[in-house]
Amino acid sequence: MADKAARLTLEGKDYDLPVLTPTVGPECIDIRKLYAEADVFTFDPGFTSTASCDSTITYIDGDKGELWYRGYPIEQLAENSHYLEVCYLLVYGELPNKQQMETFENLITRHTMVHEQLHYFFRGFRRDSHPMATMVGVVGAMSAFYHDSTDINDPKQRDIASIRLIAKLPTLAAMAYKYSIGQPFVYPRNDLDYAANFLHMCFSVPAEEYKVDPALARAMDLIFTLHADHEQNASTSTVRLAGSSGANPFACIAAGIACLWGPAHGGANQAALEMLQEIGSVDRIPEYIKRAKDKDDPFRLMGFGHRVYKNFDPRAKVMKQSADEVLALLGIENNETLKVAKELERIALEDEYFVSKKLYPNVDFYSGIILSAMGFPTSMFTPIFALSRTVGWISQWKEMIADPQGKIGRPRQLYVGADRRDYPEVSAR
Ligand code: SDX
């Protein structure tokens, strides 16, 4: 709703633009009618000052370093909840009661298997394919199997597609991992919880019993929760834009996975750990800090900085504590990489360059240390981010599809190309 206006004066003419009031956070100037009334566009590449939608799902305050899922602070959910309960909250808007949780958990558990023929898609990839390449391909291919949940105008089909995606992404991510290391696929097990099931599908082999360590399963579950949703980030915006054309949910999530892969986004967890391993020891940190500040050097401190957070990423704080716990549990608290990470963080947070640009560690800075300690190769870090974020993508997609004002997303441009000109004969060129 708008109870006040912002006045724009252009060539002597005034335009009163409604100002929309949020529950909390910045107000928004509604420019939807601007082009029709004033024949001008706004210009905001990278969308640094642009709200693409209204949403009730996730709220971030970058200055305070706050993140809420449906109003609940991430710190409280990390402490008291678990991933499937967070999935219910994100998808349906409220925390479930006991009965609702049991029904939801039972539904997810019984959708974790994938169509047996999906296995053949993996066989077409080289074994050394990056698991994210496999994930993009196989998740997109789900639309070739689950035809009974691709009609986006049927709320029942939208719901079953959501359940299938939340349930099957861990199975597909584990299959991508197993395929990349030449081990046989491991089927999901209904007697294991969501995170334990994922660890079992990744690390068990037919030759022997594999017992999931409950503490590692808890740490895995926490990583899933911390990555579940994050407002209108690049991959979520990709899912919304793909969904605005009416594309089926499997194709939209595949588009989100493709966007997440970039090192500036979800691919940063792999890049951050590889950077820490390349630095190798504390005494080499100054050399890398120098490079990060050098305008002529494309090197950036991976895992640092954020478009929204100009304070600590609250997820990084929780992740840092979990890293200490997991490495102590595994008896590798003297892990050199963790030492480099902590010293790099300490130096960066005192360095004028990083302080002035408000570059703090983000969610990707510590996650890789935990995942590596659990036994995952760096190539599996972003697939794990993707499976965690699927519930966020799906929740945002459902919110957009259900919006009666929804329309296809179609930005305009500032054209700076050639003026109109006539076609010259070759002899005249
Ligand atoms: C995620 O959006 C989300 O919510 C994403 C995410 C989610 O949950 O979905 O939170 C997940 O993607 C986290 C971010 C992971 N990416 C990285 O860790 C990669 C390293 N970080 C950067 O590439 C960068 O900080 C971004 C991409 C994260 C943010 O970039 P912005 O907001 O476009 O900022 P910018 O590139 O304009 O940088 C501002 C300034 C620049 O210097 P000046 O041009 O002003 O002189 O800060 C500098 C940059 O050069 N800078 C860095 C830096 N990040 C920014 N310098 C060194 N190292 C860095 N990491």
State residue 31's pLDDT score: 97
Separation CA 344–CA 301 (nearest Å): 9
The residue nearest atom 5 of ligand 1, judged by CA position, is: 233
> 406 C-alpha vs ligand 1 centroid, how far in Å?
30
Q: What burial letters (b/e) apply to 228-259, b meaning 16+ CB within 10 Å?
A: bbbbbbbbbbbbbbbbbeebbbbbbbbbbbbb
Mean pLDDT, to the nearest integer, of 383-388? 98
Answer whether 367 contacts ligand 1 (Cβ < 6 A): no
Q: What is the pLDDT of residues 89-135, one digit of tens each?
A: 999 999 999 999 999 999 999 999 999 999 999 999 999 999 999 99
- Residue 294 tokens read as 């050098």
Q: Which amino acid is at 401?
A: I
CB of 306 closer than 6 A to ligand 1?
Answer: yes
Nearest to 163 by CA among 149, 176, 144, 174: 149
Is the CB of residue 348 below 6 angstroms from any atom belonging to ligand 1? no
Span from the CA of 306 to the centroid of ligand 1 (angstroms)? 5
User: Which amino acid is present at 1?
Assistant: M
How far, in Å, is the centroid of ligand 1 from the Cα of 409?
A: 25
Decide: 230 in ligand 1 pocket, CB within 6 A.
yes
Task: Considering the candidates 306, 313, 324, 351, report the single residue annotated as catalytic.
Answer: 306
DSSP label of 185: P
Backbone angles phi, psi at 7, to 5 degrees: -100, 125
CA-nearest residue, atom 23 of ligand 1: 264
Q: Are 275 and 344 in contact (CB under 8 A)?
A: no
Tell me, in angstroms, the distance from the centre of ligand 1 to residue 205's CA: 39
**Strands (E) located in 157-249:** none
Count other C-beta atoms under 10 Å from residue 71's C-beta: 14
Task: Please give the pLDDT value at position 357.
Answer: 92
- Whose alpha carbon is nearest atom 34 of ligand 1? 307
The structure tokens 């949020």 sit at 22
Is 147 part of the annotated catalytic residue set?
A: no
What is the band of 149 on the pLDDT scale with cuts at 50, 70, 90?
A: confident
Q: Which residue has the higher pLDDT, 192 or 2?
A: 192
Q: Confidence band (pLDDT; 50, 70, 90) for 334? A: confident
**Ligand 1 center–CA 116 separation, angstroms:** 41
Mean pLDDT of the chain: 95
Mutating to test ligand 1, I would choose from 307, 344, 360 the residue with most ligand atoms within 8 A of its C-beta, which is 307
What pTM does this model have? 0.95
In which band, very low, low, confident or very high, does the pLDDT at 87 lie, cut at 50, 70 and 90? very high
In short, whether 364's Cβ falls inside 6 Å of ligand 1 is: yes
Q: Any idea which residue has 């909250």 for tokens?
A: 89
Dihedral sign of CA atoms 111, 59, 257, 276 in order: negative
> If you average pLDDT over residues 151-170, what whole number do you get?
95
* Residue 81: predicted pLDDT: 98
Among 227, 364, 403, 419, the active-site one is 364
* Ligand 1 pocket test, candidate residues 50, 60, 233, 300, most atoms within 8 A of CB: 300
Helix then strand count (H, E) for the chain reads 18, 6
364 noted as active-site residue: yes
Q: Is 268 in the pocket of ligand 1 (CB under 6 A)?
A: yes
Helical spans, DSSP H, in 261-313:
268-279, 285-293
pLDDT the model gives residue 417:
97
Query: Which residue's C-alpha comes closest to atom 46 of ligand 1?
Result: 295
Q: What is the pLDDT of residues 286-319, one digit of tens each?
A: 999 999 999 999 999 999 999 999 988 999 999 9
Give me the residues paired with residue 5 across strands. Answer: 18
The torsion angles phi and psi of 70, rounded to 5 degrees, stand at: 50, 35
Q: How many CB atoms lie within 10 A of CB 209?
A: 6
- The per-residue pLDDT for 1 is 56
Q: Is the pLDDT of residue 191 over 80?
A: yes
Pocket test for ligand 1, best of 55, 229, 233, 265 (most atoms within 8 A of CB): 265
Stretch (H or E) spanning 158 = helix 155-180
How many Å separate Cα 409 from the centre of its chain? Answer: 20
